[in-house]
Amino acid sequence: MKRLFIMLLIACSAITTISAQQKGKQDNVPYNVKALFHSIITAWGEPNDVYSVNKNPETNQIESSVRITTFSADNDKFPHMAGKVYLNTSAISDAFKKDEPKSYQILHITPGDFKKFSLKAVNEDGQSETYQIRDNDNEEMWLMCCKNPQNPKLRDAYAIKWVITKEGTKVNGVIYQITSLRPDRYEKPLDYSKKMFKIVGRVGDEIKDSLYNIYIADSREALYNLKDNDYVACVPVVNKRFEWQTELDKPCVGRLRCIFPDGKLCSAWIDLDFVPGETYNITVHNGYYDEDKDYERRVGKNSGKSLLKKTIKKVEVVDDEDWVKANLFDQKRQSQMEQWRKTEGAKLEGKVMSIKMSKELIEANYRLIGDEMRGMRDSYKISTIFETILKQNKELDKKYQNFIKAAMELDMPEEEYPNMYKEILQFITEQNGGISEFFKNFGYGEHSKPVRKLQEYLTKTTEKYLSEMTKAME
């Protein structure tokens, strides 16, 4: 014990005098912080620390190194104890503050701060590793980054974090000493963003636990020849959002395909033009999606320059003059569509009202099921209502078909079809959501069989109208 006491006394004295000894020497070595770390590791460091060094075989110079040491100290040796010579948190602050002129980055985070901190380490070969330095709100952390004195291309990162246990008897912490390529040496130049294509997606509640496979090909034909497992990335949905990006040297084509929460690959997909420097925003529901119309008009399938069209060889961003012409055309077309709705479209009003009444009857029956589940929970009655809903959906589908036939006879503008199919699919999606919520709240009982039949029918109907909507949007 006496030996440990003397060793700590020497270490602490060294911390306060080293800066004076090195005063005339201009280098980037944080002597105070290094002495501090050495003292803590010697006194309280765990033996099973992480340690690795990579050297250039030609020059024997270090290209990267990592040392991560866990320590655990009794609280009477570490925290604020006036009159004692044991190492404490004020010594840590002092060491980092004294060496601040040697660093190009210094950071201090106190307990109670919600900030998390991670450090990315990259070597000359481009291999990288990310270290989560601070991930607990109760931790205190100090970090310092300096240029490596032997190789200015490298960064020496020194970090320490610690937390006092709930009992107050122990101080547990970790020391990080990481040498890697400086961030400004591996970060992409400003024109890098001009090569990036990004997808930003949002999803509805009914598919919030899904995944998305992403496929890339040089041409429409090559894309259609890809197999299901030829995807380049599988992107998860987190908080009803997903994002993915890649660097492209030239425009190409790609595909988004959903994997449902049960692991089943969706029978439909979304094909897009992947254009460098662009971002595609999309909102996906169960059975339909909201496309990025601005993107499609500028560089996608409605720009007249899409790679998804057989006759097109190159995708380019349209200039302002082309955009104005396209916008004027859109306004003219919109006016024609409004005129059709007032004249020919009015002839469909009766069929629209009939469809609306059928929807309201179905919705009323779902409410009856809800009332029954909150009341007597009569399985026979619930099953009967679900059977009725299935029949009503089949009748509703006949009305949809009659409406589509009549609309075609009246030469409904082609731009109206995607919205029509989207409305059909949205009502089916709402029913699927209600059924999922039903099972979640009430489980599987004698009423399961008719519910399953209804679910299967709605799935088949979704696939049918999703296929028709895809054709209408091509």
The mean per-residue pLDDT over the stretch 165-187 comes to: 81
- How far CA 78 is from CA of 73, 172, 456, in Å, comes to 7, 10, 65
Q: Is residue 21's pLDDT more than 50?
A: no
* Band of pLDDT at residue 274, cut at 50, 70 and 90: very high
Q: Is residue 43's pLDDT more than 60?
A: yes
What pLDDT, on the 0 to 100 scale, is given for residue 186? 61
Q: Which of 188, 192, 196 is nearest to 278 (CA)?
A: 196
Q: Which of the given ranges, 42-46, 161-165, 177-181, 184-188, has the highest pLDDT on average?
A: 177-181
Q: Is residue 135's pLDDT more than 60?
A: yes
What pLDDT, on the 0 to 100 scale, is given for residue 70? 92
Q: Is residue 441's pLDDT more than 80?
A: no
The mean per-residue pLDDT over the stretch 327-355 comes to: 70
Q: Is residue 30's pLDDT more than 90?
A: yes
* Band of pLDDT at residue 445, cut at 50, 70 and 90: low
Contact 91, 36 (CB under 8 A): yes
SS (H, E, C) the chain: CHHHHHHHHHHHHHHHHHHHHCCCCCCCCCHHHHHHHHHHHHHHECCCCEEEEEECCCCCCEEEEEEEEEEEEECCCCCCCCCCCCCCHHHHHHHHHHCHHHCCEEEEECCCCCCCEEEEEECCCCCEEEEEEECCCCCEEEEEEEECCCCCCEEEEEEEEEEECCCCCEEEEEEEEEEEECHHHHCCCHHHHHHEEEEEEEECHHHCCCEEEEEEECCHHHHHCCCCCCCCEEEECECCEEEEEEECCCCEEEEEEEECCCCCECCCCEEEEECCCCEEEEEECCCCEECCHHHHHHCCCCCCCCCCCCCCCCCCCCCHHHHHHHHHHHHHHHHHHHHHHHCCHHHHHHHHHHHHHHHHHHHHHHHHHHHHHHCCCCHHHHHHHHHHHHHHHHHHHHHHHHHHHHHHHCCCCCCHHHHHHHHHHHHHHHHHHHHHHHHHHHCCCCCHHHHHHHHHHHHHHHHHHHHHHHHHHC
Looking at per-residue confidence, does 1 or 406 come out higher?
406
d(C-alpha 266, C-alpha 213), whole Å: 10
Q: List pLDDT tens digits, range 423-435.
A: 888 888 888 777 7
* Band of pLDDT at residue 447, cut at 50, 70 and 90: low
Looking at per-residue confidence, does 15 or 195 come out higher?
195
Please state, for a pLDDT cut of 90, what percent of the chain lies above it.
Answer: 16
Looking at per-residue confidence, does 202 or 288 come out higher?
202
- The token duo for 339 is 């005129």
The mean per-residue pLDDT over the stretch 60-70 comes to: 88
Q: List pLDDT tens digits, range 70-118.
A: 988 776 555 455 544 454 677 888 999 999 999 988 999 888 877 788 8
pTM of the model: 0.39
What pLDDT, on the 0 to 100 scale, is given for residue 235? 87
Q: Is residue 205's pLDDT more than 60?
A: yes
- The token duo for 414 is 């082609």
Please state, for a pLDDT cut of 70, what percent of the chain lies above it.
Answer: 78
What pLDDT, on the 0 to 100 scale, is given for residue 208? 79
Ranges of each domain in the chain:
2-186, 190-318, 349-473
Q: What average pLDDT does the structure give for the chain?
A: 78
Classify domain 190-318 by CATH number: 2.60.40.10
The mean per-residue pLDDT over the stretch 244-257 comes to: 90
The mean per-residue pLDDT over the stretch 298-309 comes to: 81
What pLDDT, on the 0 to 100 scale, is given for residue 443? 59
